A and B are shown apart, each in its own frame.
Chain A
């Protein structure tokens, strides 16, 4: 019983380490030093999803094209990226950006580039699925009313398809937020590396530190997932009505 009590009290005695370093977990050494921690994770995720959206949109549409010189490179890109671990892609950018650019590239930038290229392939599949999910009649009617294929795409198909894709985009953003933790492997000071810094410096309370950052990630991801589920529900209600004939 006594050992149980010491064990139980021990579970709560180390949280001071987390509390003292909580600002480091949130923003790193900022404003005295470089930005880090959770703020860095969120910034990388937002820039990443923004870049990935445009790449994914372009590649997704290329993939749907009837011209093989457009659809095959898109297919190749999507399949290669989806068959490769993100860690590999991060290493690719980390080691080859300097060789290609001819000068050194900051870790944060090569990590963000890796996130954009990696997530782009997944967004491309979302775009493809979203466009294909629309009834064929939409395209036919748009073409029938005299629009070109490009015009029909930009004015009729995409505005509807993109709207339906919003929940999937939110889910992809959640994945990316979790994926930003991998940037630690090339020394980007985001939330996970900040936690490791604290642990390395204090050599204390690893359970408390990693539980805390798990909770921080969880709050963000879970809130966004709940939001996307809600969106999905309200949208399916809307769609059910429009599909009634």
Chain B
């Protein structure tokens, strides 16, 4: 098979714009999901470390289920199969949104939250137990001790792994193309289908993903450097 390269075609006309649109949707999808996943993940960790057995088991079960099933299957479940389970008012609200994008956010959030909860838990467990006991002894409630003493310290330790979870989330957001969210991978596929120049289309989108992950890796390194300097003082 003979293949001739045509790079200018990829950047000419509407195709260049398609890539930028895709990149922007990828960023919106991952940006919104990481914020929601952090909230849900923190909630799960608090449940997991609470004294109440039912809460602890519920959180543990959630984490195991979401970590041990493929994200694509979860996306399909939310997109095709969740209908009988959702309450009516939520469905009404959901169908007014961009349903594909909303499903993508829900799936990515619930999936990533399980991983974030595990990172948070190991971060919290690395804080000596005496910290919690001391803050309880000074009269703080469990939630106050968590919020003012344990979590601020734990977050410092777990910020690098959290950033790499964000990186995973950006990469995982490519799976939203399976339900037709027009993010970067979807757009690359679209450009390929229109131009038959797959090599160029996938090179451009791969480079976009690589630059995103490069930026995020640099952020981790800068954080580590800063953190180490603070720590050694």
Given contacts A85-B209, A95-B198, A192-B76, contact A178 B172 (CB under 8 A): no
Given contacts A178-B69, A222-B68, contact A207 B209 (CB under 8 A): no
Given contacts A99-B3, A221-B68, contact A92 B202 (CB under 8 A): yes
List, in ascending order, chain A residues with CB within 8 A of B206's CB. Answer: 84, 88, 92
Question: In the assembled complex, how far is the CB of residue B213 from the closest CB belonging to chain A, in whole angstroms?
Answer: 4
CA distance A174 to B192 in the complex (A): 32
List, in ascending order, chain B residues with CB within 8 A of A87's CB. Answer: 174-175, 177, 185
B83/A182 in contact, CB under 8 A: no
- B180-223 contacts to A, CB under 8 A, are 185, 188-189, 192, 198-199, 202, 205-206, 209-210, 212-214, 217
Q: Check if A69 is an interface residue, CB within 8 A of chain B.
A: no
B81/A206 in contact, CB under 8 A: yes
Closest residue of chain A to B197 (Cβ to Cβ) is A95
Question: In the assembled complex, how far is the CB of residue B60 from the closest CB belonging to chain A, in whole angstroms?
Answer: 12
Contact for B84 among A85, A179, A195, A207, CB less than 8 A: A207
Closest residue of chain A to B210 (Cβ to Cβ) is A83
Q: Number of contact residues on A: which range applies?
A: 35 or more
CA distance A196 to B77 in the complex (A): 11
List, in ascending order, chain A residues with CB within 8 A of B64's CB. Answer: 218, 222
B70/A82 in contact, CB under 8 A: no
Q: Check if A57 is an interface residue, CB within 8 A of chain B.
A: no
Closest residue of chain B to A196 (Cβ to Cβ) is B76
CB-based A-B contact count at 8 angstroms: 119
Q: Check if B171 is an interface residue, CB within 8 A of chain A.
A: yes
B174/A192 in contact, CB under 8 A: no
Q: Check if A139 is an interface residue, CB within 8 A of chain B.
A: no
A85/B171 in contact, CB under 8 A: yes
A210/B174 in contact, CB under 8 A: no
B84/A11 in contact, CB under 8 A: yes
Q: Check if A106 is an interface residue, CB within 8 A of chain B.
A: no
Q: Check if A217 is an interface residue, CB within 8 A of chain B.
A: yes
Q: Check if A211 is an interface residue, CB within 8 A of chain B.
A: yes
Contact for A88 among B65, B73, B80, B209, CB less than 8 A: B209
Q: Check if B112 is an interface residue, CB within 8 A of chain A.
A: no
Q: Check if B228 is an interface residue, CB within 8 A of chain A.
A: no
Given contacts A211-B77, A211-B81, A214-B74, contact A85 B174 (CB under 8 A): yes
Q: Check if B122 is an interface residue, CB within 8 A of chain A.
A: no
Q: A84-B171, A192-B73, A217-B73 are in contact. List 6 more A-B contacts (CB 8 A).
A: A83-B217, A88-B174, A179-B70, A210-B73, A210-B80, A218-B64
- Which 6 residue pairs across A and B have the least CB separation, nearest first? A83-B213, A207-B81, A206-B80, A221-B68, A181-B70, A85-B174
In the complex, 26 of the A-B residue pairs with CB atoms within 8 angstroms, ordered by the A residue number, are A83-B209, A83-B213, A84-B210, A85-B209, A87-B174, A88-B185, A91-B188, A92-B202, A95-B198, A99-B3, A181-B70, A181-B72, A181-B73, A182-B70, A182-B72, A184-B72, A195-B76, A206-B76, A207-B77, A207-B81, A207-B82, A207-B85, A210-B76, A210-B81, A218-B64, A218-B69
